[in-house]
Chains A and B, each alone.
Chain A
Amino acid sequence: MDKLIWLIPVLPLAGFVINGLGRNSLSKGVIGAIGSLLVLVAFGLSVAAFFQIKQTGEPINVTLFDWISVGDFKIPFSFLVDQLSSIMLLIVTGVGFLIHLYSIGYMHDDAGFGKFFSYLNLFVFFMLLLVMGSNYVIMFIGWEGVGLCSYLLIGFWYTNPSYADAAKKAFIMNRIGDLGFLLGIFLIVNTFNSVAYADIFPKAAGMKAGDAPFVLITILLFVGAIGKSAQLPLFTWLPDAMAGPTPVSALIHAATMVTAGIYMIARSNILFTMAPDTMEVIAIVGLATAAFAALIALTQTDIKKVLAYSTVSQLGYMFLGLGVGAYTGAFFHVLTHAFFKALLFLGAGSVIHAMGGEQDMRKMGGLKGKIKITFVTMLVGTIAIAGIPPFSGFFSKDEILAAAFAHSTTFYVVGVITAMLTSFYMFRMMYLTFWGKFRGTHDQEHHLHESPASMTIPLIILAILSAIGGMIGVPAVMGGHHELGAFLEPVFASSKALLGEHELSHSTEWLLMGISVAVAIFAMIYAYMKYVSKASVPVSDEEERPALSNLSYNKFYIDELYDMIIRKPLDAVSVFFYKVVELSGIDGFVNGLGKGSIEASKGLRLLQTGNVGFYIFIMVIGIIAVLVYNFLRI
């Protein structure tokens, strides 16, 4: 397996090249088959790697070539596949394959079919590079690469200016975070004189906790994670990124790219454990993001925007988990979230496909009889995200909430309230879309049909995973063995040793679980009463809303706020630089040189009188000058 590990990222790269070069010449069937099958083979290899690691317990270390070598400082291009990255590999290639399969059906009528698949493959390649790298620099290559692919894919239909703007917004916000990440890497090099995980983490474990370098490094790395994983305040790109095709939203903005930040922090867990202040900051930012996004999602009417804000909120949960030291719990939530969020996005895509492109939930309704498979699978996904047992979301979310409770009761209370809001808006989405009477146009009603098999099979697979995926993390208190925790033990061992175990009594744990399930079911019933029994529909955009609802619907005017405090001063600075520095200063100087030489030449021109006597006179003066200079000075 060691010899074949390099194939895992290279196969999607080959897919990118083949599909990219042949996007106009190959047939759609061939393109789709190549793109999907290569990712499937990569998935197979990832499974083999996973089982090898499970059996031996040893990570796979493969060096491909010496990349950077400056004096003592070496950065080899090598892969490290341990427990953490093997699970990420499975997620990326597995969910990636399902989404490739889905895209064959969804993008079938699009002219840029080949381009789409080549971009998807390129994205998978970069994501795999990010996950498999054995040092921070290779991770950064993947980090930047997924940002690039995100730009390419969000702006896929670039002829629409607002879509292109959304792509630019995503890329720029990512770059702001990347600056923090890069500075963090520089500081790491400065402190540890290496960027390889194998060098840094053991050295860090031996240093003193709370040291200044740790705080600085971890804060900077967290800034990078804020940009990539859409936390407060750099989250506004994710809702706008819904401009891209739905498979893109599923792959990038639900399952893989946005989880890169959590992966990075989980990988560097020892560094973060050494800086408790940063962990506090992470927890607070995560919690705030979760609550904020949940509040906005309450009133959204676009089905994809609801899911987008839901993603931001769930990412906030994961950061909360990281911040309170529940690394395993946060990563477990990454896994389950990948399943049910991808499922929900793909299902939303199926609904949009059935509605012929309509995304406004106010125009939907009563679809559960018409598109049955989509309905059932989305229902499974919604129950999972709401955290109702025995589906997967319950286990992961509860682990995070328990750790939050052990850390601070306030965190727990806010977390539970957010869980209630999550359940409420998710079920609101379900009721508005699938229950009640159909509110769309006549043509749309005739057009309603179930999606083709290439789209429904991934839905079914993901629904099964969302339902039973939680079984690998059943906690001891419920009689399980928490296989995932045991599997990931070596990765988080040193952190756990430093943090110590927060032991909660069994009764407390049962109580916490009961509370979270109760609020979820309560929210579900309340939403049912409001949207099915009373059949209320959110008001259209022209009508008045009450003040709080208005704030929530307009996403708390946060984009306008950014516009005012960041964009306008930047514009003013730019105008200043243009008018004063560029036009008057630099242009003036350069043009002045030209003008100066013209004026000087106008003066010198007068020497050419054409008068021979004058020339001879000047010549004599010149000779006298030379004589005087040579003979009388020396």
Chain B
Amino acid sequence: MKPAPFDYVLAENAEQALAVLAQEGDAARVLAGGQSLVPMLNMRLARPGMVVDISRLHDLAAIHAGNHAISVGAMVRQADLLAHPHLADSHPLLAQALPWIGHPQTRAQGTVCGSLAHADPSAELPLLLTALDGSVTLRSRRGRRELSAVDFFLGMMTTDCAADEMIEQVRFPAKRPGAGYAFREFSRRDGDFAIVACAAAVTADGIELTLGGVGDRPHRRVWERLSGSALDDALNEFAWQSDARDDQHASARLRRDLVRSLGRQTIEEAQACRE
């Protein structure tokens, strides 16, 4: 179980990395924390001709916290974002959800942007980006563009990131005043990919629920204020429309059940946080 051969580039700055990507196109893969890519290389599921290591791009290792959002560079490790001061105040959803990603050992190396680039439908970070209406900044030699989560995630492990682009940073909008947030996840073991993960935001205007682990990318629904059986009905509809499928860890039925039950718990918890 050893990787196929590849050329390796250790980029010293972003321009170098982008130049290589522009030249190599689809044959090159960006290596940041390696926690998603390297297992696929070891299993030879992925066999890029070139690996572009961006781990020494120190400019991209910064977190910028503004009043309205937190910007996370491509080399920021998940553990660093989790340890960012005041994260629980500015981004309660991130603070609640980040500990669910893998294990401390993988969070110490895995990057926030790397997980987004990998776009696993059961991973927590794509769900969080979708739930918070975040955006991704893609950069290539052609320039920069900023994409919303909805535009970025195209499907299972597939994003709108072109072959010559890399994620430069990601932006998570801060907590909205008066909003309550909650995150819940059900997995076979702690640290496993989610069977169903739910992120809820409850505001004066309504309820937002985002699902991970169901379907080929995170799904978000926004409702006017709902409660009681109307909420149950809404969740049931969401469950049926979320394209749940069977795999060896859980059936589509269990996933729909979890959307209904875990979804409701998450919304109620977010509601309680708001109050």
Q: Do A and B bind each other?
A: no
Interface residues of B (CB under 8 A from A): none
Interface residues of A (CB under 8 A from B): none
